[in-house]
Each structure stands twice: as structure tokens, then as C-alpha cells.
Structure 1
Amino acid sequence: MTNSEFPNDEGRVSGKGQAIARGKTFSFFRTLHSAFANSAFVIPLLLSPVASAQDLPRRPDDPVPAQVDTMFDRGLAYLAKNQNQQGCWNDSMGSEPGVVGLCVIAFLAHGEDPNHGMYAGVIAKGLDYILSQQNQTNGYIGNSMYNHGFATLALAEAYGAVDNPKVAPALKKSVELILSAQKRNRSEAWRYTPDSTDADTTVSGCQLVALYAARNAGLPVPDEALKKGLAYMARCRGGDGSYGYTSASGGKPTLTAIGVLCLALAKEKEGKGFQSSLDFLKGQMSYRDRHYPYYFEYYMSQALFHADPETWNEWNTKNIRYLSTIQARDGSWPGNKGQSFNTAGSLLSLALNYRFLPIYEK
């Protein structure tokens, strides 16, 4: 990637009320084009904020593994300690609004009270940074559609949970930009900038996930936009169920995980395409993306969680063991993409164990 750009609250659960109900509650992105044209890619996450968290308790016989609690606590403590006064992080990718969005979502996914809890200030500063990066004319956040998509996710998670009146209009603008970019795209999908006329599965998956998050948050998202985006993704699915980067050839596990997630969020899990893609992922249980491992962990975790509980349990056990062996003493995770991104990605791959957010509901 080489580009240089990148409602109404009535009836919503209040931020404080929702937080209490929860209990315990990218320069970087510019490197993705060249890497993913030749290797696998995963676009992190979708969590959705609106439904009241008291509807999503963990069952007494389904406890969070103690090892997950330990890793999560240490990871969040690292992010909180290393956030700067601007609300971002000082590592190589920590100033990208998309990365800041992932960090914010990691706190929300843990059930942290965003208004009165110990990390409320961290969440508030992260959101303020994202808001400061939004173009007030067209709603564009950051310098790429990757950044825009991930930042939109964070706004969707915060909407209705965080006591900040700026979140709602910012989220509305960011969604409108995603929809207008799709209308200008000849593939009826997305790529690097709002004006791109070609598309790929990484950027398109990111925007689809953001749109589902926004819809879950209560914003109007046209069915037609979602259907057209899913249709593009389907055109990039090969006969073996794997998804390619810009076509049905050269399928990769990471791309397939995002494709499965999009279908799961669309509640389209009965078709042959979904099953073939799931079967492909089941054959990749030992795979690790050496270029973008933390994207892969997150997307694989969520795709399998929605698709097949037994397979997710197997994957989750392996993922917990793997991440526990490489977490640094300071609570971060290593890698050349920057510790803020690495740590947020790792935590989000473990967040299915908590299920505080409605997106984790089957």
C-alpha cells in the first residue's frame, strides 16, 4: 500500500449503565499492499456495543481460563502505561488511528468501565485522538481505508457505552464515507482510498466488519451495501473455499478467516461456500502468519468461534498456550509492527473468552 490519505442516542443504553452491566467488567498500513499481494493478511476484529451486556453473562461452567486473565491484565496494563498524552502510542505504528482504535477496543472487550473505571482515562484519550484525526468535511479518519475502517470499529464500540457526545456524529460521518466510497468503486467494494476504483478482500473485509458494527450500534446501514460487499468477497473465494487477495486464486488462511467472519456476521452460514471455507480453515490449525501473526490470531479465533465451537475450543487452547509463551515481561507482545498493535491484536484474539460484547453472541 502506498497511498498517503487515509443519530440519535434515543433509546440507547447509557454509557455508565452499560459499563456497570458489563461487570469487571498505520505508515504501518501502507506496508500491507506489497506484503499481502504475496502473502496472507487478516484485518482485525469486529465487536459491537449496543445490546446490554447483562444479556451476555458467561456460564458458571464456562469460566475464563486463569491464564487468559493474567495475560489480559498484563497486556492492558502495558497499553495504559505506554499511552502518551495525545492518546496514541510512541512505537512505530502507535500513532495510526486504526491501531489506536484496536487498543481502545481491547479495553472495551475486557468489560472495562469506559466512564468510571480504572482505564476510563485511557479509553477517553484514545477516542479523542481518533476524533482528532477525522476530516470534518468528509468524515475520513487517517490516511487509508484500513485506518478508517478500524477507527470506525472503535467508534461503533464506544457509541452508547462512552459518555462522549462527539462519538455519535463522528460515527455517522465515518459510515457515510464507507458507503459513498463503495458507490464510487466499480467492484462495489473497497481498496486503499475513498476514491479507489479497484478492490481487495483485506480492505473490503475491514469495511464490511465496520458496517456490521455500526449497524449493531443502531445506525442505518443499507442491506444492499452489505450484499454487494459480500458478493465481491464471494468472487474472491476459490473452489477449495480459500479466499484470495484480489481474485479467487492464491487463497490464504488469513484472507479466508476474514471471509468466514464476514459471512458469519451476515448470518449466512448455511451455504456451501461457508462450509468449504470453514473446512479450509480446519486444515490450518497449525498455521501461523509469519508476516502479520496478530491479525491472523484474532481473525482465526473469531471465525472459528462463530462457525464451530468444538474447533474453536481446540484452537483457543493452542492460541492461549502460544501467546503465553511469547508475551514479554512488560505485558506486550513482540514483533516488527510495534508493540501497541501487537499487544492489541493478541488481546483481541483472546477476547472471545470473555464475551462481554454482543458480537460474541452466537
Structure 2
Amino acid sequence: MSRIFVAATLLCIAIVVVLKPTAGMAQDFDGNVVSREVREMMDRGLSFLVEAQSDSGHWNDMGEAGAGTTALGLLSLLASGENPNFGKYQMAARKAIRHMISTQDAESGFMGPSMYHHGFALLALAEAYGQVDEDRLWNGSEAVNRRGIGTALELGVRCAITSQKSNPRGGWRYSPGAIDADTSVSGAVMMGLLAARNAGIEVPDEVIDRVLDYFVSMTSDDGVVAYAGGLDGFGESIARSSITCLVLAIARRKDLPQYKATETYLRNHLNQRSAWTEYARYYQAQALFQADIEAWKKWNEGLVRTLKSRQNADGSFRGNMGAANNTSLSLLALALNYRLLPIYER
């Protein structure tokens, strides 16, 4: 046996030893090892979503069928680490995208039934844009409105901008023609716009600046964020403070005092209860991840334990927002462990 052969054999063994995952660990994404229990929860949850998806590609959750519910399911599929063009969720992802595009208003670009849904739809299309092979998107489909993802995204952005122009508050409410705003709906639309901008879609600076001014006006010195109207609106909410903290972080305005205030509030109220627990966790996970990676890691350990106890035998998660929404929001809170969606980049 030659020395070269022996050396090569030892080198291969060494590589295998180094690359062998630690017991209890699973896939490695960009240097980040995802635990086996997270991967198993994700796989079971995604299996439930694929099974619950309609033939047309949407999810009808407690009667709330719309672009937002479909978008959350699509985001969960895209966050899984599976290739959206060739992986095991490719058909489910394509069906969801096709449904969102084919039901979009071809003139206004609105993806309803509310601006809440529209905001999440913008986010999902922006995350799919560039990841999903558009040559394969409509293959075998007979949908009438065969727009590409980029075209649908541009239409959706235009809808949000048109809606904002008629809104004196600079944000959004449920209807595209609303003249009032709330921080929850505005947060959903703003995250969609920021994701679209990251994907290369033109979003004017003045549009972003108006929304930021709105959030600043709704944030108190102690990090409490009002719901609607003004600073006296609806008391404390970990969800709203998390939304504002996240929006300011993704918009790269951590220099604002309102960012520091909401970040401090978030750190000091990590276990605050919410009437909409899954929704709050979805934003809390992202905001904390953007604020302090070490604090997020510690909080995430508790999140994994909590969600493991709340996952049903069929892979869905318990909660008060319907099985599909509960499952999608829970999976997306876990998806920070993967860090694959562009919007999750720090």
C-alpha cells in the first residue's frame, strides 16, 4: 500500500469525523446547525400544511381564506431549506404562488380580502422572487392570469403605494381606501415593501419615510406602541412593540430613539402574554433576532420547548387563529433557526 494512498485514506476519515453532525443535531445551513427536534417539528408541520392545502393552492382557515393565509403557508415552505424548484414541497409552493397571482386584481394589484392579507402576500412574493423558477411556475396550469412573480410583486407594491397616498396617517388599515391606520396592518404592509425593495423592486424613499414617521409618532418613550389613533390607543402589546422594533431594524434605522425604546421594551417583556399568541411570537422572534442574537438564542430555547408541547399529532399547532395560521406562524417563529429567508438576514 503506497504512502500516498494511506495519506489520502486518513484524510478522508478525518473529513468524515469533522463533518459528522453532533448527536441530536441535523442539517447545517450556512454554518448554522439546526437541532433535530426543530427539524422534526418543522417537517411534521409542513406535512400538515401540504395535506391541508386545497387543490387550487390556498388554505381555508376558519373561513378566513385569503392571500395572507396562503402567503404564510408559502413562507413556511420557503423557509424549510428544501429547494422550491425540485424539493419535496415544490408542487405545494408553486400551487400557492399560482393561487395568489391568479386571484390578484389585475388592475389595482390588490391581494385581499384586506390590506393585512396584502402585506403578507407582498412579503411572500418577494421572498419567492428569484428563488422560484418562473419557467416552471405555470407548467401544466390553466390559470388565466399567468403573470410572473416579479410582475405580480410590482403590481402589489403599486397598490400599497396608491393606498398610502390617500391615507393622511402615512400607514394602512384594512381597506385600501382607508383614511385611518393601525400599527399592526401597517407593519404587515411595511415588511412586504421592505422585502420587495430587498428583492430589487423599486419602492420610493418617501414611501418608506412616511411609514417610519407614522411608527415614530405611535411609539412612546418607554417602547409601548399604540394601535390606532395616537399614543393613547389601546395600551401595551408585545406584538406591536415587536413589530415596530423589527420594522425599524429592517429599515436600518436603529439610530432612532424609538428603536432603542422598543428594543428595551422587548427585552424587558419577553414573557408578556398576548391575546394573539402565535401572531405575537412570529414578530417577537424576528425582532429579538435582529436586536441581539445571544438574547434570541436563549429565548429560542424556551420557544422550542413551548412549541414542541403545542404540536398536535397531525403536525398542526394549537392556538386561536385556526390550524393553518397557527401552524404557519409557529413554523415561521422556528424558522429563525434556519435563517434561509432573505428577510431573516441580519
Give the TM-score taking structure 1 as reference length.
Answer: 0.81
- Opposite residue 67 of structure 2, the aligned amino acid is P
- Offset of 1:57 from its aligned partner? 4.7
TM-superposed CA distance for 1:163, in Å, is: 2.0
- The Cα shift of 1:308 comes to 1.0
Pair 1:58-2:38 in alignment: no
The equivalent of 2:266 in structure 1 is 281
2:204 paired with 1:222:
yes
Taking only the aligned residue pairs, the percentage that are identical comes to 41
Quick one: which of 332, 335, 339 aligns to 1:351?
335
| Paired AA for residue 343 in structure 1 | T
Alignment counterpart, residue 257 of structure 1, candidates 232, 242, 249: 242
Alignment partner of 1:303 is 2:275: no
User: 2:104 matched to 1:104?
Assistant: no
SS at match of 1:100: helix
Please say if residues 237 and 251 of structure 1, whose CA atoms lie closer than 8 Å, have aligned partners that are also in contact. Answer: no
Q: Distance in 2 between the 1:336 and 1:137 partners?
A: 35
The match for 2:116 among 127, 146, 166 is 146
Give 3-state SS (helix, strand or coil) of 1:146's partner.
Answer: helix
Identify the residue that residue 326 of structure 2 maps to in structure 1.
342
* 2:179 is the alignment partner of 1:207: no
Does residue 113 (structure 1) correspond to residue 83 (structure 2)? The answer is: yes
Say which of 30, 42, 51 aligns to 1:72. Answer: 42
**Residue deviations 1:78-98 (CA, integer Å, cap 9, x gap):** 111121111112431562210
Structure 2 equivalent of residue 190 of structure 1: 172
The residue type paired with residue 284 of structure 1 is: H
Q: For residue 142 of structure 2, what is the aligned residue in structure 1?
A: none
For 2:193 and 2:125, the matched residues in 1 are separated by 11
Gaps of 5+ in 1: 1-55
Partner residue, 2:224: 242
- Residue-by-residue CA offset, 1:251-299 (whole Å, 9 max, x unaligned): 311100000000000111133221121111112111232x311111110
Residues of 1 paired with 2:342 and 2:186: CA distance?
Answer: 22
Query: Is 2:61–2:69's contact at 8 Å kept on the other side of the alignment?
Result: no
> Aligned partners of 1:354, 1:115: CA distance in 2, in Å?
19
Question: Distance in 1 between the 2:294 and 2:278 partners?
Answer: 22
Q: Which moved more, 1:106-115 or 1:268-277?
A: 268-277
Confirm whether residue 266 of structure 1 aligns to residue 251 of structure 2. Answer: yes
Matched position secondary structure for 1:118: coil
Q: How far apart, in 2, do the equivalents of 1:125 and 1:209 lie?
A: 23
3-state SS of paired residue (1:64):
strand
Structure 1 residue 230: Cα displacement: 0.7
1:102 CA displacement: 0.5
Q: Hey, what's the Cα distance between the residues in 2 that align with 1:68 and 1:93?
A: 30
1: CA distance, partners of 2:152 / 2:258: 35
Tell me, yes or no, if structure 1 residue 328 matches structure 2 residue 328: no
Partner Cα separation in structure 2 for residue 200 and residue 190 of structure 1:
6
Q: CA deviation at 1:338?
A: 1.3
Q: Is residue 49–residue 73 contact of structure 2 (8 Å, CA) maintained in 1? A: yes
1:314 has 2:295 as partner: no
| Higher RCO (C-alpha under 8 Å, 6+ residues apart) | 1
- Alignment of 1:292 with 2:264, yes or no, is no
**What does residue 38 of structure 1 align with?**
none
SS at structure 1 position matched to 2:61: coil
Contact 1:98 1:149 in 2 (8 A): yes
Q: Provide, for residues 73-119 of structure 1, a one-character-per-residue CA deviation record: whole Å limited to 9, x for no partner.
A: 10001111121111112431562210110000101011221111111
SS in 1 for 2:226: coil
1:51 corresponds in structure 2 to: none
Return the alpha-carbon distance in structure 2 between the equivalents of residues 222 and 57 of structure 1. Answer: 33
Deviations 1:199-219 (A, max 9, x none): 110111111100001001100
The amino acid that maps onto 1:264 is A
Letter in 1 for 2:124: A
How far apart are residue 307 of structure 1 and its match?
0.5
Question: Quick check: 1:142–1:148 contact (8 Å CA) kept in 2?
Answer: yes
Match of 1:63, as an amino acid? V
Gaps of 5+ in 2: 1-27, 135-146
| Number of equivalenced pairs | 304
2:127, 2:343 within 8 Å by CA — same for their partners in 1? no
Higher Rg of the two aligned structures: 2
Q: Distance in 2 between matches of 1:100 and 1:270?
A: 35
